[in-house]
Amino acid sequence: MIKAINHIGIAVKDLDASIELFKKIFNFESIHKEVVADQKVAVGSFKVGDVLIELTSPTADDSPIAKFIEKRGEGIHHIAFETDNVSNELSRLSEEGIQLIDKAPRPGAHDMLISFLHPKSTNGVLMELCQHQE
């Protein structure tokens, strides 16, 4: 079952410069930084209320984020919804005719399992499902 918005992903070219910009806007004190090697991205995330803002920059020219920025520019990339079981949600959504990018969960930032729904079947919005690993 989908429980809440977990984070909003924003594609950025320069992670450090973007962190400084967003720090001026939101005045946050701490930021979590990590590299997700499988996805070829570096992530900087901070909380606004109960929602994470996840700044995501490419670490390689062939990463999905690099391709997104090349095609659309920097900006909102996806909205992530937390669920208690990504696999079950993928099965349910597939049966409902929703096009999946990922057929099975994969590792993501913050020690979560993640999967994406194709924006062609979600009114143009790239949606991520995420689940805290046990």
Query: pLDDT per residue over 8-67, tens digit each?
Result: 999 999 999 999 999 999 999 899 999 999 999 999 999 999 899 999 999 999 999 999
The alpha carbon of 26 is separated from its chain's Cα centroid by a whole number of angstroms, namely 19
Contact 117, 126 (CB under 8 A): yes
Distance CA 42, CA 39 (A): 9
pLDDT at 42: 97
What pLDDT score was predicted for residue 117? 97
Domains and CATH numbers, the chain: 2-132 (3.10.180.10)
Amino acid at the residue 75: G
pLDDT for 20 equals 96
Adjacency order of strands within the sheet including 106-108 = 32-36, 41-48, 51-58, 2-11, 75-83, 127-132, 112-117, 106-108
Q: What is the pLDDT of residue 98?
A: 97
Name the residue among 41, 50, 46 with its Cα closest to residue 23. Answer: 46
Q: What is the pLDDT of residue 29?
A: 87
pLDDT in tens, 72-118: 999 999 999 999 999 999 999 999 999 999 999 999 999 999 999 99
pLDDT of residue 134: 72
